[in-house]
Amino acid sequence: MSDETNDPRTEIVDLWVAGSEEPEFQPTDEGAQEISAEETPDRLDVQFGRVIDDDYLYDDDVAEDERVIVNMGPQHPSTHGVLRLQLELEGEVIRRTKPIIGYLHTGMEKTAEELTFGQGPTNVTRMDYLAPFHGELAYSLAVEQLLDIEVPPRAAAIRVLMTELNRITSHLVALATNGMDIGALSMMIYGFRERESILAFFEKTTGLRMNHNYIRPGGVAADLAPGWKDDVGGILKDFPRRIDQYDDLLKENPIWLSRTKDVGVISSEEAIAFSITGPALRAAGVDWDLRKAFPYSGIENYEFEVPLGENGDVYDRYRVRIDEMWESLKIVEQVMDAMPKGDYRVGDRKITPPPRARIDESMEALIHHFKLFTEGFKVPPGETYAAVESPRGELGCYLVSDGEAIPYRMHTRAPSFYNLQALPIAMADSLMADTVATIASMDPVMGDVDR
């Protein structure tokens, strides 16, 4: 033990007791509640938060220490996956936003150059994992255009049935997560519950809840399961009541309205300039739906309307999705009533495998089966672009073949990828608290963005 005077702790204690002086008390105005007399009533409204002063021009004179850059994500629960946003804040107001993506990039376009045309749907179905049927459909349509074949009417009708049911499940997830992000937790429970009833039908038909690999070049993988009309009929009977419940919960809910009205506005000009498609475009009042403009799979034979919004805010996007669920139910009902009989895939055994029973009795069928699942089928050289209206917008597939059994190049035009570009526009000069509402209303699927 050293001498007591050399111990630093003792010195400090000594300083506090004897050597130090009490600092002089200096009152500050920090935390003062008094309102100064020269404030105008308008200014007071802004200060109390009754009026939001949102009319802001970016000003370089703002001091450096008044701006804060906040990284939101890539692990934030409200960013719907691994999306990262760099937000430049002034107080609570967002001035600039930069979306940073790529955290889920797995090189699926490169993978597609290693898989045969028949294996391709297993790849594209994992891109937009909330709308797997639409990805498979766009890919299959592109392959069929290159092969120059037409699928039987029953296959086309099954495709429409599945994609429209898929649109309902995808919109249910959009509503559920949108509700969850804003704080309407009941909506989250309801959305996922109802989605499960349709996923049960998907599982019965395709074997899987998601990532089905059901729609394939040349038709679909299997016919609808026995008793499918009862299942779809049950969905059609159940869902109108459910959607009415969502309206009871949210449509005139004052909290929901104040969190969504005039929030995240994207005008029609901005939406067109930024290549936005889908509900976000229609919420801005642009009447554009690929099912009407460039119909596919015989969807022009069914009657439905294209719901439109007016303001392009979060509330309109929510309304457009609810209305689209009604229209999809109408299409599903028409498809169910008019389901044609016949084969569910093309009869060309160079493209689709023979029925299982034929393999046991026919040598030729066995050879076809073996060749299809080892080498695949060759596709004539050419390039094509096929697009379908997915729940998020135009989902396109650009396919190039050089005459081999694997694509030379496969590119997916992912709607979420383009829709994300408009986030800086939608969120400029808005409040930090509205960020999650805006992201959720764009309904990005990061598997679709990064591929």
Partner 1 sequence: MIPVFETLSGQFDQVVWVQSHGQDVVRVPVVDWYAFAEAAKGQGFEVCADVTAVDWMRMRPDRFEVIASLLSMSLGARLRMSTTVGRDEPSVASLTPLWPGAGFAEREVYDMFGINFEDHPDLTRILMPDDWVGHPLRKDFGVGSVPVQFKASHQVE
Contacting residues toward partner 1, per CB under 8 A: 101-102, 105, 107, 109-111, 114, 145-146, 148, 272-277, 286, 288, 293-294, 382-385, 387, 394, 396, 398, 400, 402, 408-409, 411, 413, 417-418, 420-421, 450-451
Least spacing, CB of residue 127 vs partner 1, in Å = 13
Give 139 or 239: the residue with its C-beta nearer to partner 1: 139
Which residues lie across from 401 on neighbouring strands?
Answer: 382
Give 102 or 347: the residue with its C-beta nearer to partner 1: 102
Report phi then psi at 396, rounded to 5.
-115, 155
Q: What is residue 408's DSSP assignment?
A: S
Give 62 or 293: the residue with its C-beta nearer to partner 1: 293
d(CA 28, CA 14): 30
Least spacing, CB of residue 275 vs partner 1, in Å = 3
Least spacing, CB of residue 219 vs partner 1, in Å = 19
Residues 212, 132 contacting (CB under 8 angstroms): yes
d(CA 316, CA 238): 25
Give 165 or 386: the residue with its C-beta nearer to partner 1: 386
Least spacing, CB of residue 438 vs partner 1, in Å = 18
User: 275-288 in b/e burial notation, b at 16+ Cβ within 10 A?
Assistant: bbbbbbbbbbebeb
d(CA 394, CA 398): 12
d(CA 16, CA 216): 81
Least spacing, CB of residue 39 vs partner 1, in Å = 41
Give 113 or 247: the residue with its C-beta nearer to partner 1: 113
Least spacing, CB of residue 346 vs partner 1, in Å = 17
Least spacing, CB of residue 216 vs partner 1, in Å = 19
Give 113 or 196: the residue with its C-beta nearer to partner 1: 113
| Tokens encoding 244 | 């009415």
Give 173 or 414: the residue with its C-beta nearer to partner 1: 414
Q: Distances from the Cα of 154 to the Cαs of 232, 331, 394, in angstroms?
A: 16, 15, 24
DSSP-H helix ranges across 338-414: 356-361, 363-374
Q: What is residue 345's DSSP assignment?
A: B
Q: ω before 74 within 30° of 0 (cis)? A: yes
